[in-house]
Homo-oligomer: A and B are copies of this chain.
Amino acid sequence: MPRLMIRNVSVLVVPEQGECRVDDAQDVHVQDDLIVAITPTDPSDQADEVIDGTGLLAMPGLVNSHTHSPMVMMRGAAEDLAIEDWFNQRIWPMEVNLTPERVRVGARLACAEMLLGGVTMFVDHYFHADQIAAAAIESGIRADLAPTFFSSMEKGTEAALDATRALARLHPRITACLGPHATYTVNEDDLRRAAEVARDEGFRIHLHAAETDDQTQASLDKYGATPIQVLERTGVLDAGVLIAHGCGIRVTDLAILERYADRTAVASCPKVYLKLAMGEVTPIKGLQAAGVSVGVGTDGAAVHNTLDVWEAIRMVALTQKQRENDAEWMTISDTLRLATRGSAAAAGLTGKVGVLEVGHQADVALVDLSGPHNQPLHDPRAALVYSVRASDVVTVLVAGQIVVRDRRLTTMDLDEVVADARSLAHTLVDLSAGGAVQHYDP
């Protein structure tokens, strides 16, 4: 008898190509952390624990493929600013105030927000990543963590590489990447060092690159190479990389990326690109044509304001139709595929998460589409892209564990998590100490 069963649920099926579909009246059987069977519902099926899925839709838990989770502590504290001022006047001066405790408190809040919204995994890039790991482990969420470093940090590179090594051994739900911040804050020597460790020890690299076309032009002016060319010549592309944003990836870069497509992914977070008036969005059509995986993320809440991956998915569909001037592009099925298989690939976990199939991790979001904003339900797939809200998520499983039940966290006391964040929030935005962790001048 399996340990757990979701009974009589509609299951979102996302094939590798073609139309997504919804199979009604299914039983999803879970043993330990795995999906072991998905069968037409049968009242005689039994399990130790049964979740009634009647009227609900089961889909792969969402993956937030690029964020800085503890930045929820700065939510709403850096508004209406262009990217230079956002970094130099607000964010990097604020980050002088980071402490392990504040990072942990922020990460706990972030995990709570994400789990309650159906996010079962996040791909993070931040400081004090051991604290983020602790919050993730406590909350029950899955995480891939990249300890951030700048070349300007004394002994920062080696310390960050060690932090990645430590994280990788920590917990079955935690994976780790090497985390050079960006091509404009980490020099080529340090990028080469990261690429070497990545290749030798089997890590991926997660970093920001070609965030805007201005950055690409600045890189050409300073180094005679686009950020993508810098990643190639330092061995980062060869090692395997998750690139955040990539809005400044040029057509000529696509031919380079195509050569490393089997180990390259890009995370797109378009709400941020519009909010910071960055001028471009990720060139997803070209990247996908080059065979590069593309996922969807929120980026940090200091600019995205939420860690709502539904919102991010919708923005990908809308901004891609806009970018390509083609309403028939980035269809509902393609959007759902990007948000599930694409984000799983960006997280480095293809074959393990991102689809509801036998042998995959039981990372599941159960969604209630009966609310008036989703009804009548001509097409549940359309609802998932264009009308669902994070608050429609009812129950969430990660690795077979029920972490949200009937819209409540089972792993943490939400009131305490929020109260802790409120009590420390002022310490993060206090600029009286002066200084900054970095200066934006790509």
Contact = CB atoms under 8 A, between A and B. Distances in A.
A332 B81 CA distance: 11
A373 B421 contact: no
Contacts of A389: 389-391
B277 A80 contact: no
A82 B327 contact: yes
4 smallest CB-CB distances across A and B, nearest first, come from: A376-B425, A76-B382, A305-B386, A274-B318
A221 interface: no
10 contacts: A75-B377, A75-B383, A76-B377, A80-B327, A116-B372, A117-B373, A273-B322, A305-B383, A378-B425, A389-B390
A74 B378 contact: yes
B418 A327 contact: no
A417 interface: yes
Contacts of A382: 75-76, 79, 305
A10 to B, nearest CB: 15
Name the interface size band of chain A: 35 or more
B376 A75 contact: yes
B332 A80 contact: yes
B277 A321 contact: yes
Contacts of A75: 374-378, 382-383, 387
Contacts of A73: 376
Given A305-B386, A305-B387, A378-B425, A275 B321 contact: yes
A182 interface: no
A375 B74 CA distance: 9
Contacts of A279: 325
Oligomer copy total: 2
A271 interface: yes
A379 interface: yes
A51 interface: no
A130 B322 CA distance: 37
A305 B327 CA distance: 15
A113 interface: yes
A422 B371 CA distance: 12
Interface of A: 72-77, 79-83, 86, 109, 112-113, 116-117, 271, 273-277, 279, 301, 305-308, 317-319, 321-322, 324-328, 331-332, 370, 372-379, 382-383, 386-387, 389-391, 414, 417-418, 421-422, 425, 429
Given A277-B321, A318-B271, A324-B277, A373 B390 contact: yes
Contacts of A383: 75-76, 305
Contacts of A322: 273-274, 277
Contact of A331 (B80, B318, B319, B327): B80
B378 A77 contact: yes
Given A321-B277, A376-B425, A386-B306, A370 B83 contact: no
A80 B330 CA distance: 8
A291 B37 CA distance: 63
A112 B372 contact: yes
A279 B327 CA distance: 10
A77 B328 contact: no
Contacts of A83: 327
Contact of A319 (B74, B77, B274): B274
